[in-house]
């Protein structure tokens, strides 16, 4: 058994969907989470910038002696995963390949839609990964730059959110997709609104569950699982800005599993502020 913590990072609160699934399925694991709330959203930034941000965060997590890192951000997974894996000698798991595998498994007609940030969609990481798994699949992707700000602002339901979703999804729904991948870990927080817009005939794939499948398999293979009854389990949350705002979201989505403690960290100075 290895009781060192897991490191998880995202551009903001979206990665909490992955944290919630880890807490549910791997209850013995300690967690160090970093949300880059000062620099969200990642989706409109350049690939070079995303790789720089991701390396800074990974350095911070490695200094916390994590045993593995989950890149709970689709943009960073698309643009920085390979560079992170070449730099660090520990398991680093992204969210794209597990979600694509799950979508290929559940799709009935091989017509898969993907929504994500501009950077994720422009990288074509999802169509590429899906085609490797299911060469005959037809993939339609759409960038949805307004969705992350809506989630960060707590607008998870309502007429405004549904109107924005309807406009974004109109084109790919015309292509008669049967499966929709939520290509950003913020988007599962909009699941109810998304299902209302796409209807019952479209299966919505949340990457969090698929990612934890991949994480669990990796930890088992490398003998890194913690004991389910680990007596010193801890969960620590860091952000680069607005810890109070992050804490509100943490309480909403992690409920009793969230202790309310969020620390603000300056990555450039590597100290608590």
Digitized pLDDT (tens) for each residue of the chain, 273 residues in all: 588 999 999 998 889 999 999 999 998 899 999 999 999 888 889 999 999 999 999 999 999 999 999 999 989 999 999 999 999 999 999 999 999 999 999 999 999 999 998 888 999 999 999 999 999 999 999 999 999 888 878 888 999 999 999 999 999 999 999 999 999 888 888 999 999 999 999 999 988 888 999 999 999 999 999 976 655 678 899 999 999 989 988 887 787 678 778 999 988 765 444
Given 73, 100, 144, 234, the catalytic residue: 73
Longest dimension (CA), the chain: 52
- In this chain, the answer to whether the domains covering 6-94+209-272 and 96-207 adopt an identical fold is yes
pTM: 0.86
Q: Cα–Cα distance between 125 and 257 in angstroms, integer?
A: 33
Burial class (CB in 10 A: 0-12, 13-18, 19+), 62: middle
Q: Is 73 a catalytic residue?
A: yes
Q: Are 117 and 44 spatial neighbours (Cβ–Cβ below 8 Å)? A: yes
Q: Are 37 and 245 spatial neighbours (Cβ–Cβ below 8 Å)? A: yes
Q: Are 83 and 58 spatial neighbours (Cβ–Cβ below 8 Å)? A: no
Question: What is the CATH number that goes with domain 96-207?
Answer: 3.40.50.1860
Enumerate the domain spans of the chain: 6-94+209-272, 96-207
3-state helix, strand, coil in the chain (%, to 5): 50, 20, 35
Given 100, 144, 184, 234, the catalytic residue: 184
The verdict on whether omega for the bond into residue 53 sits within 30 degrees of 0, i.e. cis, is no
Q: Are 119 and 144 spatial neighbours (Cβ–Cβ below 8 Å)? A: no
Pick the CATH number of 6-94+209-272 from 3.20.20.10, 3.90.1720.10, 3.40.50.1860, 3.30.390.30: 3.40.50.1860
Q: Cα–Cα distance between 215 and 85 in angstroms, integer?
A: 15
Q: Are 55 and 83 spatial neighbours (Cβ–Cβ below 8 Å)? A: yes
């Amino acid at each position: 058994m290895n009781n060192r913590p897991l490191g998880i990072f995202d551009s903001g609160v979206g990665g909490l969907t992955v944290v919630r699934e880890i807490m549910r399925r791997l209850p013995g694991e300690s967690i160090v989470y970093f949300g880059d709330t000062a620099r969200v959203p990642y989706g409109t930034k350049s690939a070079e910038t995303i790789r720089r941000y991701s390396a800074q965060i990974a350095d911070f997590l490695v200094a916390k002696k994590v045993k593995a890192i989950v890149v709970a951000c689709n943009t960073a997974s698309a643009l920085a995963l390979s560079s992170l894996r070449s730099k660090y000698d520990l398991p680093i798991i992204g969210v794209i390949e597990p979600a694509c595998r799950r979508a290929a498994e559940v799709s009935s007609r091989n017509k898969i839609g993907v929504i994500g940030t501009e950077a994720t969609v422009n990288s074509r990481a999802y169509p590429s990964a899906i085609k490797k798994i299911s060469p005959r699949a037809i993939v339609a992707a759409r960038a949805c730059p307004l969705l992350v700000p809506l989630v960060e602002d707590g607008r998870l339901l309502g007429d405004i959110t549904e109107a924005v979703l309807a406009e974004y999804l109109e084109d790919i729904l015309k292509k008669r997709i049967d499966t929709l991948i939520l290509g950003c870990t913020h988007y599962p927080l909009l699941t109810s609104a998304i299902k209302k817009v796409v209807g019952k005939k479209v299966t919505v794939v949340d990457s969090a569950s698929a990612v934890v499948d991949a994480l669990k398999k990796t930890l088992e293979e490398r003998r890194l699982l913690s004991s389910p009854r680990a007596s010193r389990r801890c969960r620590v949350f860091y952000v680069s800005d607005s810890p109070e705002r992050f804490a509100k979201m943490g309480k909403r989505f992690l409920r009793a599993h969230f202790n309310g403690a969020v620390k603000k960290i300056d990555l450039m100075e590597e100290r608590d502020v």
